[in-house]
C-alpha cells in the first residue's frame, strides 16, 4: 500500500467527489479507497489547535503551525513548529515520509540548541498526548484491514463499514480490534469512527464537526473531536489559516530551516 497516500497529510482524513456517485453500489473496500483518495493534497499549510479536556473539565491547549508538501514517488515532507504553550515555543519537527523506507524525523529543541533525529512512534500511540492516535492523523492504510459493510446499505445517506485488522500484529500496532466508519454516500466523507478494544467494547469515538473544501471538490476535516469513553477525556483538533495547494519552497524542509 502506498505509504505516501497512507500518511498523506497530518489530519487529512478527507474526501469526496461531488461528482459521480456511481449508479452501481460500490463494495466496502472501494468506498474506503475512494474516501482515502479524496484526502490527498499537493501542499498545505495551516495552524492546528489541539485542546485536551480531562474528565474533570480541565483543559490543555497546544498550537502548532504546519506545512506539508507531496513529492513524486510517494515522498511527503512535513514541518511542524510549536507556537503554544510558551515553554515549548520554537520546538520544531521535520518529518520525511518515504514510500518504502523508514520514515525520518528530526526535532529541534531551542532551549538545548540541539537537533536530534528520532525514530518515529507506532501508529496506535497517542498523537501529541491526545486521544487521537498517530494513525487517526493520517489516511488509513486500506490493506491493513478487512473491510465489510455492516447491515443493509440500501437506505440512508451513510455507509457503515467495519474494518478489522488483518492479523494480530496489525491489531497490536493500531491498538484496537475493530473500527466502524460512517462515510457519507454523497461526499465519501468520514463522519464518524468508532473504535473497539480487545474485549470488543466501544472505547473511542471520533466525530467530524466541520470540513474545509479544497480544490477539485476535495475536503479536509477542519474540526474533529475524539472522545475516550473509558477515561472520559476528550481531544479536539481545529485547523485555521488553511492554505491548500499554494507554492511551498523545498528549503522549508531542511535542517537549517528547522533550527530557525
Partner 1 sequence: MTGFILKFRYIIITICALIGIGSLLLIPRTKVDPDIRNYIPRSIDSRVQTDRIEEEFGTQDMVMILFSDSSILDQDNLRRIKEIDRGISKLGGVGSRMSPFTVSSISSEEGMMVVKPLIGDIPTDEESRNSLRDDILANDFACDIVFSSDMTAASVTATITGTIEENITTDRIDSIVNALPGKAEVMKGGLPYIRKSLLNDVRKDAIILVPAAMLIMLIMLRLNLGNWRSVFMPFSVVFITTAFSMALVPLTGWKMSIITVLVPVILIGVANNYGIYLVARFQELKFYNPDLSVRELLDSLLKSLNMPILFSGLTTVAGILGLLAHSIIPARQVGVLAASGVSMALLMSLLLIPSLISVNSTRLVPKKKRNSETRFFDRLLTALSDIIIRRPGRVLAIALAVILIFAAGIFLIRIDTNMENYFSSNHPVKLASEVINKKFGGSQTISVMIEGDIKDPVLMTDIDRMTNEIESMEGVGNVFSISRVVREMSKAIFVKGEDGYDRIPDSREAIAQMFELYSMSGDPEDFRQLADPDYMKAHVLVRFSKPDNKHVNPVNARIAELAKDMDATVSIGGYALIMSDFSESIIRGQISSLVFAVLTVLLLLALVFRSLKGGMIGSIPLLASIVILFGFMGFSGIPLDAATALLSSIMIGVGVDFTIQYVWNFNLQINSGLSWPDATRTAMRTIGRSIIINALSVMAGFSALIISGFTSIRFFGYLVLISIGSCLIGALLIIPAILLKFKPAFIGFKTNKQ
Contacts with partner 1, residue ranges (CB under 8 A): 52, 54, 58, 60, 82, 85, 87-88, 91, 93, 105, 107, 109-112, 114, 116-122, 125-126, 128-129, 168, 172, 177, 197-199, 201, 230
Where residue 107 falls (left for φ over 0; alpha for ψ -120 to 50; beta otherwise) is: beta
Minimum CB–partner distance for residue 169 and partner 1 (Å): 10
Cβ-based nearer residue to partner 1, 54 or 249: 54
Task: Calculate Rg over the CA atoms of the chain.
Answer: 18
Cβ-based nearer residue to partner 1, 172 or 250: 172
Cβ proximity of 234 and 226 under 8 Å:
yes
Minimum CB–partner distance for residue 86 and partner 1 (Å): 8
Minimum CB–partner distance for residue 197 and partner 1 (Å): 7
Cβ-based nearer residue to partner 1, 93 or 205: 93
Minimum CB–partner distance for residue 242 and partner 1 (Å): 23
Cβ-based nearer residue to partner 1, 3 or 134: 134
- The span from the CA of 214 to the CA of 146, in Å, is 29
DSSP string, 45-90: EEEEEEEEE-TTS-EEEEEEEEEEEE-GGG-EEEEEEEEESGGGTT
Cβ proximity of 235 and 51 under 8 Å:
yes
Look-up of cell digits 525514530: 119
The candidate with the shortest Cα–Cα distance to 68, out of 220, 187, 190, is 220
Minimum CB–partner distance for residue 89 and partner 1 (Å): 8
Cβ-based nearer residue to partner 1, 82 or 219: 82
- The span from the CA of 37 to the CA of 64, in Å, is 26
Amino acid at each position: 500500500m502506498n505509504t505516501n497516500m497512507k500518511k498523506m497529510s497530518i489530519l487529512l482524513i478527507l474526501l469526496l467527489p461531488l461528482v459521480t456517485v456511481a449508479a452501481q453500489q460500490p463494495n466496502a473496500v472501494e468506498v474506503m479507497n475512494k474516501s482515502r483518495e479524496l484526502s490527498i493534497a499537493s501542499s498545505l499549510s495551516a495552524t492546528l489547535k489541539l485542546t485536551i479536556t480531562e474528565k474533570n473539565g480541565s483543559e490543555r491547549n497546544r498550537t502548532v503551525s504546519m506545512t506539508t508538501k507531496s513529492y513524486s514517488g510517494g515522498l511527503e515532507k512535513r514541518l511542524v513548529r510549536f507556537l503554544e504553550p510558551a515553554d515549548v515555543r520554537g520546538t520544531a519537527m521535520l518529518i520525511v515520509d518515504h514510500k518504502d523506507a523508514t520514515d525520518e524525523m528530526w526535532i529541534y529543541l531551542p532551549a538545548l540548541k540541539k537537533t536530534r533525529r528520532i525514530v518515529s512512534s507506532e501508529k496506535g500511540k497517542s498523537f501529541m498526548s491526545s486521544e487521537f492516535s498517530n494513525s487517526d492523523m493520517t489516511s488509513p492504510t486500506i490493506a491493513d484491514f478487512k473491510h465489510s459493510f455492516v447491515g443493509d446499505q440500501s437506505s440512508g445517506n451513510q455507509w457503515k463499514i467495519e474494518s478489522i485488522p488483518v492479523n494480530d500484529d496489525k491489531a497490536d500496532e493500531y491498538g484496537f480490534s475493530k473500527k466502524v466508519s460512517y462515510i457519507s454516500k454523497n461526499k465519501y466523507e468520514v463522519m464518524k469512527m468508532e473504535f473497539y478494544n480487545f474485549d470488543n467494547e466501544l472505547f473511542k469515538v471520533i466525530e467530524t464537526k466541520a470540513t474545509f473544501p479544497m480544490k477539485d471538490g476535495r475536503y479536509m476535516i477542519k474540526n474533529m473531536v475524539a472522545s475516550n469513553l473509558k477515561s472520559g477525556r476528550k481531544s479536539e483538533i481545529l485547523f485555521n489559516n488553511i492554505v491548500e495547494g499554494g507554492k511551498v519552497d523545498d528549503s522549508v524542509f531542511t535542517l537549517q530551516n528547522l533550527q530557525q
